[in-house]
Amino acid sequence: MEKSTPIGIIGGLGLIYGAIFMGVGWQTFFDVPSIVLVLGGTLASLLVSFSMDEMKQVVPSLKGFFSFSAPDLSSYVHDFAELSRTARRDGLLALDRSIAELEDDFMSFGLQMAVDGIEEEAIEKLMDLKVKEDLKPRTFIAKFFITAGTYCPAFGMIGTLIGLIQMLQNLTDPSQIGAGMSMALITTFYGALFSNLIFLPMADKMQTQVSEVRRAGKMIQTGVLSIVQGDGPSMVEKRLSLYLGDTADGEKGKTPDLAKAA
Amino acid sequence: MEKSTPIGIIGGLGLIYGAIFMGVGWQTFFDVPSIVLVLGGTLASLLVSFSMDEMKQVVPSLKGFFSFSAPDLSSYVHDFAELSRTARRDGLLALDRSIAELEDDFMSFGLQMAVDGIEEEAIEKLMDLKVKEDLKPRTFIAKFFITAGTYCPAFGMIGTLIGLIQMLQNLTDPSQIGAGMSMALITTFYGALFSNLIFLPMADKMQTQVSEVRRAGKMIQTGVLSIVQGDGPSMVEKRLSLYLGDTADGEKGKTPDLAKAA
Amino acid sequence: MEKSTPIGIIGGLGLIYGAIFMGVGWQTFFDVPSIVLVLGGTLASLLVSFSMDEMKQVVPSLKGFFSFSAPDLSSYVHDFAELSRTARRDGLLALDRSIAELEDDFMSFGLQMAVDGIEEEAIEKLMDLKVKEDLKPRTFIAKFFITAGTYCPAFGMIGTLIGLIQMLQNLTDPSQIGAGMSMALITTFYGALFSNLIFLPMADKMQTQVSEVRRAGKMIQTGVLSIVQGDGPSMVEKRLSLYLGDTADGEKGKTPDLAKAA
Amino acid sequence: MEKSTPIGIIGGLGLIYGAIFMGVGWQTFFDVPSIVLVLGGTLASLLVSFSMDEMKQVVPSLKGFFSFSAPDLSSYVHDFAELSRTARRDGLLALDRSIAELEDDFMSFGLQMAVDGIEEEAIEKLMDLKVKEDLKPRTFIAKFFITAGTYCPAFGMIGTLIGLIQMLQNLTDPSQIGAGMSMALITTFYGALFSNLIFLPMADKMQTQVSEVRRAGKMIQTGVLSIVQGDGPSMVEKRLSLYLGDTADGEKGKTPDLAKAA
Amino acid sequence: MEKSTPIGIIGGLGLIYGAIFMGVGWQTFFDVPSIVLVLGGTLASLLVSFSMDEMKQVVPSLKGFFSFSAPDLSSYVHDFAELSRTARRDGLLALDRSIAELEDDFMSFGLQMAVDGIEEEAIEKLMDLKVKEDLKPRTFIAKFFITAGTYCPAFGMIGTLIGLIQMLQNLTDPSQIGAGMSMALITTFYGALFSNLIFLPMADKMQTQVSEVRRAGKMIQTGVLSIVQGDGPSMVEKRLSLYLGDTADGEKGKTPDLAKAA
């Protein structure tokens, strides 16, 4: 579950609108036509940028975004050590039974190829390809949000230009200048807010998800290839436990040692 | 057929001009001399940026842009499995007949080389080169639109500077200040609108087309090389179906599994 | 001959100054001190950016820029097929006579090495190196124009700041405000115009020239290596004609086929 | 110990606030609500950008940031020469005893694999992976600060927009315009100051730390592989002392020589 | 000797201040507190960005910057041809005597390894590493100037914000508005001037020096490896003279030929 995203967005909006409520004229900051102009313009640019097929993927892919939880890498170490013990003792073919019990599709995919006797290099390539293809919805969403975050302030500025041009034509009534200009600036405000609080940070988060899945995939690939190469349980564990380096004690124990000893 | 592009452009213009019509002075927003200045200046910069030969490619390449439809990758899986069955049974030379019936030029190109006995590595290189060369009109158009999208706001700003400088020289009549400034801002408005609704998003779309064609090319290349290496139909299918990973059920079924199991 | 560059620059200036003449106060837009400030400041930054030796290369390299005409790639296909026929029939040494008649220095360079019996890999490396070195004046000029296009608007802004600061000190005479400010903005106008109509687009064009020469070099290299590897005329033609993919019929015939069939 | 970071931040703040105290109205520059808006908004965007797990790493990783001291590379040269002497004389297995005495975890990690007879290529890969994994907290913090430095000015601008819009609605009391606008600009001031004095420079520094640790890791890897390949002490020293090139005398003695002689 | 750098900086400052002297109120443009604010703030950010050890390298590295003269590549061609003749006639060991007489440290470094019988691949790697390490002071200075050129305009803007905020609080005396605003803009002027005339162009120049030294290093490496491979003098000359391609006649003779013949 993605918790920090709603906390950040709701907290940020709360903070900004809290500041607005403490000042005067908060009604100005709830201007539906301005929101429609900024988000509608952004949506139009997104339609030009992406194909219909891609646009249809957005909503389903967003579900995957919010339901994402970081892979628990530590469980892989034990699993692969166990599998390598079996493979060493009873041969690669003996893994066939274990595969059926695996919950992780990508692990089964790799191990099945090992059992089928496909050669190492092909396994490596096909696993790389599979990770890349499986990640396509996520990398697409990251790109989608970056694009949204780029066009959104542009339509904020376009809205402000429209407002300014209209206001400047009616300078005869000076009492309206302030109100006109403040309305004009609202779209810039929305453009900046949506882009910097929602679109661009969500693209960042999606890229983090992508790199975590890729990392888990790399770890599983390392495990599968290690088994194919006939490594024993301790070597498999050694290889895989390197991927845990950034968890609690790893973080404290490792890099500083390098620096300290140096 | 490229549907989302006209929907996005027309929808975006509709939205923006709808907002304009709801305000005062919409006549200002139809200023032909300003459009000529912004698009003409952009065209001038494009002429300096590209050669005459490249400029002549723009219109024909645009036709390819609008008539583009994403390659239907799933059909390749079956086709190649069939071809691999033939090759396994009757030898590579037996493919000669099948090639004549293929609709896809790139598939025939690759398979013909396989039948001609050209070695694997050369087939790989030549197929890579052919994809790259065939994509040149599209990559050129993507670059063309990015360049247009870069210079367009610059000429918008140049137009505004001209208007401002002229207006500032006539400050003696204050009633003209607003009108002058609003006219001056129109070019900035056009520059931002053309760039963010048309040029840059179309460059994005073109790059999506490029990557879809490249992906189809990669898939066909994988199929051809798989046949050359003597893979059986099931292995060919396994390899090629990885490229379908981002379609409907693949999207739901695969990456989340990796995450869930982790 | 580089035709589109002068057309673009003259056309662009004509358009911009046409718009200026249609308004009032066109004299303001011919301000020699402002041009001197913007171009002089840019030149000063270029002197800091590049060495004296590089600065001396600018004018001679510009001649190469304007006299450039795109290599006619199609002639190479026939030439290399002919050479490969000779090589196949009479041996590589028989090419010695043909080399003397070649007009293209780079072809002779590569073929001479083939005749001298230098091994394939060394020929490839040396041809790569020669293309890279031969292109140095052009890549330098591209970098020179990008640099000029970066500093030019900066000095436009510096000029405007000077004008603004001076004007703001004399606010006592309000009738001068407009004139002072309009003068101040002229340098920003020049900076934007020179950068976006001349410097940056010329850098784009130069990079196009670079990639066309590199492409021709790659094609010649492919031809030479193909001959060294003993390919027959039809194979040489097959390889080289891939480089013609973006000309008239190639453009229509190929990529769309891939998409259509898919 | 990281000394220049606090010196720079405190010195910079001292300079800026010194300039502020010399002018009028310094109270404006201590506006807690504005600071809360800018930093709170930045924090909200960071929460959207990063996962909760990553956010929890920030404080512990910052400790590593301030306690960092550059690895003393010169000590490695002697250590590895000594180890290579032992290995040459008594065989790789004889290193087992020396490893226990090593203070540097990464050296032990590499040498232990050498003693265990793991093959060269695997040692290289695993050492690469370990450096990369050990550096994850630091590369994360660098990315965290870059992200903070990107969103911080954006929320400064959003705060200014809010202030401007509110002020423009109350133009009826002209005496308040100045005060309102000056308040509005305070958030832009904070955004620019935090970003350019704290966040972005700290990201720079963190990246320097990353490249120093990576460099030390590369040097240790070179040493381990050199021993595995059976290099003698003088060759090991030759290889490793190249990494000292940027210390005092190296800096004077080497590159200029190349230039001078040239 | 680096001549164009002082010419550019002094010329640029002369031009800018010449323009200032021709206008009114030139005293405003010599404002020591503003210079202190902009450069001091930049220095503070640099202290946060770099470590103390790096900051201490700046001044010594700057000496190397100004005393730099481009390596005279043509002399290497002759030297290496001579050395290759000796090596061919009397064997690699005979080079031992010649090495002692070499003025170029990097040449001796490479040839000594050749004489010591170190294998080709190791020589290549160690020479690569040595060039990279020897260039560290220069690449650092380039990065230092880019960083300075990035933060300098930011502190110019921060200074202007301070000035604006202070001025806006005292709008009651309208006669002071102009003077206050003109003072406020001075820091932006300094930030833009220092960044665009000094810091960023000096980073460009430093990168040119880096690539010239790297090029000379590559040429020497090619020469050493050519000798190790047993190439004769004519082949060595052929290889090395490719690096001279951008000098006077090379520039005219080569690329255009490729284009012309094409």
When pLDDT is cut at 50, 70 and 90, the band that residue A252 belongs to is very low
Ordered alpha helix ranges (H), chain E = 4-22, 32-49, 52-66, 73-90, 95-101, 105-115, 120-134, 136-168, 175-193, 200-228, 233-241, 248-253, 255-261
Report, in angstroms and rounded to the nearest whole number, the Rg of chain B calculated over CA atoms: 26
Report, in angstroms and rounded to the nearest whole number, the Rg of chain E calculated over CA atoms: 26
Cα–Cα distance for residue pair E13/D220, rounded to 1 Å: 49
Instruction: Answer yes or no: is pLDDT of B72 > 90.
Output: no
Return the pLDDT at C1.
63
Write out chain E residues lying below 8 Å of D9, CB-based. Answer: 44, 48
CB contact under 8 A, D48 and A193: no
Query: Mind telling me how many Å the CA of A97 is from chain D's nearest CA?
Result: 30
B139 contacts C211 by C-beta, under 8 angstroms:
no
D–E: how many Cβ contacts below 8 A?
Answer: 204
Query: For residue D143, how far is the Cα from the chain centroid?
Result: 10
Return the pLDDT at D1.
63
CB contact under 8 A, C154 and E205: no
Return the pLDDT at D61.
86
User: Looking at chain D, which residue has its C-alpha nearest residue A219?
Assistant: D129
Average pLDDT of B151-161? 97
Task: Identify the residue with better confidence: C16 or C254.
Answer: C16
> Touching A: which chains, 3+ CB pairs < 8 A?
B, D
Query: Mind telling me how many Å the CA of C100 is from chain B's nearest CA?
Result: 31
Cα–Cα distance for residue pair D7/C87, rounded to 1 Å: 73
CA neighbours within 13 Å on the CB side: how many for B76?
31
User: Looking at chain D, which residue has its C-alpha nearest residue A10?
Assistant: D44
Q: Could you report the per-residue pLDDT of C232-256, keeping only the tens digit for each?
A: 898 899 889 888 864 433 333 333 3
Write out chain D residues lying below 8 Å of A261, CB-based. Answer: 71, 102-107
Q: Identify the DSSP state of C195.
A: I
Residues of chain E with pLDDT > 90: what percent? 52
Tokens of B49: 């940026």
User: Looking at chain D, which residue has its C-alpha nearest residue E118?
Assistant: D235
Q: Could you report the per-residue pLDDT of C88-109, keeping only the tens digit for each?
A: 888 888 888 888 888 888 999 9
Write out chain D residues lying below 8 Å of E151, CB-based. Answer: 196, 200-201
Ordered alpha helix ranges (H), C229-254 = 233-241, 248-253
Nearest to E192 among C57, C103, C157 (CB): C157
Tokens of E153: 């305009």
Range name among A134-138, C61-65, D157-161 with the lowest pLDDT average: C61-65
CB contact under 8 A, D262 and E216: yes
Task: Identify the residue with better confidence: E25 or D193.
Answer: D193
A–B: how many Cβ contacts below 8 A?
Answer: 203
CB contact under 8 A, D192 and E46: no
Q: Which of E139, E154, E163 is nearest to E191 (CA)?
A: E154
Q: Could you report the per-residue pLDDT of C148-186, keeping only the tens digit for each?
A: 999 999 999 999 999 999 988 877 776 778 888 888 999
Q: Which of A202, A63, A216, A229 is nearest to A144 (CA)?
A: A202
Return the pLDDT at B104.
87
Write out chain C residues lying below 8 Å of B155, CB-based. Answer: 196
Q: Which helix (H) or strand (E) holds B215?
A: helix B200-228
CB contact under 8 A, E22 and C33: yes
Q: How many angstroms separate the Cα of E149 from the Cα of each of C143, C174, E64, E144, E161? A: 19, 37, 20, 9, 19
Range name among E135-149, E168-182, E195-209 with the lowest pLDDT average: E168-182
C111 contacts C224 by C-beta, under 8 angstroms:
yes
Instruction: Answer yes or no: is pLDDT of E38 > 60.
Output: yes
Return the pLDDT at C109.
92
Nearest to D8 among E45, E102, E105 (CB): E45
Task: Identify the residue with better confidence: A37 or A259.
Answer: A37
CB contact under 8 A, D165 and A175: no
Tell me the three state secondary structure of residue D6. Answer: helix
- Probe site for chain A from D38, D43, D47, D218 (most A CB atoms < 10 A): D47
D181 contacts D163 by C-beta, under 8 angstroms:
yes
Question: What does chain D come to in residues?
Answer: 262
B40 contacts B158 by C-beta, under 8 angstroms:
no
Cα–Cα distance for residue pair D102/B183, rounded to 1 Å: 75
When pLDDT is cut at 50, 70 and 90, the band that residue E251 belongs to is very low
Asked whether the CA dihedral D132, D134, D137, D139 is positive or negative, the reply is: negative
Cα–Cα distance for residue pair E262/E253, rounded to 1 Å: 15
Q: Which of D197, D195, D184 is nearest to D154 (CA)?
A: D195
Q: Which of C204, C244, C240, C245 is nearest to C225 (CA)?
A: C240
User: Looking at chain E, which residue has its C-alpha nearest residue C170?
Assistant: E178
B133 contacts B149 by C-beta, under 8 angstroms:
no
Instruction: Say what the ipTM of the complex is.
Output: 0.87
CB contact under 8 A, B50 and C205: yes
Residue A162 gets the label, from left (phi > 0), alpha (psi -120 to 50) or beta, of alpha
pLDDT per residue of chain D (262 residues) written in tens, 0 to 9: 678 999 999 999 999 999 999 888 888 899 999 999 999 999 999 999 999 888 998 998 888 888 888 888 888 998 999 899 999 888 888 888 888 888 888 999 999 999 988 889 989 999 999 999 889 889 999 999 999 999 999 999 999 999 999 988 877 776 778 888 888 999 999 999 999 999 999 999 999 899 999 999 999 999 999 999 888 898 899 889 888 864 433 333 333 344 333 3
Interchain contact D/A (3 or more Cβ pairs less than 8 Å)? yes
CB contact under 8 A, D11 and E47: yes
- Probe site for chain B from C218, C258, C260 (most B CB atoms < 10 A): C258
Tokens of C78: 């026939």
Q: Which helix (H) or strand (E) holds D11?
A: helix D4-22
Q: What is the largest CA-CA distance in chain C?
A: 92
When pLDDT is cut at 50, 70 and 90, the band that residue B247 belongs to is very low
- Probe site for chain E from C1, C49, C171, C188 (most E CB atoms < 10 A): C49
Cα–Cα distance for residue pair B67/C257, rounded to 1 Å: 12
Query: Mind telling me how many Å the CA of C260 is from chain E's nearest CA?
Result: 34
Write out chain B residues lying below 8 Å of C146, CB-based. Answer: none
A163 contacts B24 by C-beta, under 8 angstroms:
no
Instruction: Answer yes or no: is pLDDT of B118 > 50.
Output: yes
Task: Identify the residue with better confidence: C142 or E3.
Answer: C142
Return the pLDDT at E1.
64
Q: What is the pTM of this model?
A: 0.90
Cα–Cα distance for residue pair E6/E3, rounded to 1 Å: 6
User: Looking at chain A, which residue has its C-alpha nearest residue D123?
Assistant: A239
Instruction: Answer yes or no: is pLDDT of A256 > 80.
Output: no
Cα–Cα distance for residue pair C226/E111, rounded to 1 Å: 35
Token pair 């400034």: residue: B181
Tally of CB atoms within 10 A around A132: 15
- Probe site for chain E from C31, C32, C46, C47 (most E CB atoms < 10 A): C47
Query: Mind telling me how many Å the CA of E13 is from chain C's nearest CA?
Result: 8
Q: What is the mean pLDDT of chain B?
A: 87
Residue A72 gets the label, from left (phi > 0), alpha (psi -120 to 50) or beta, of beta
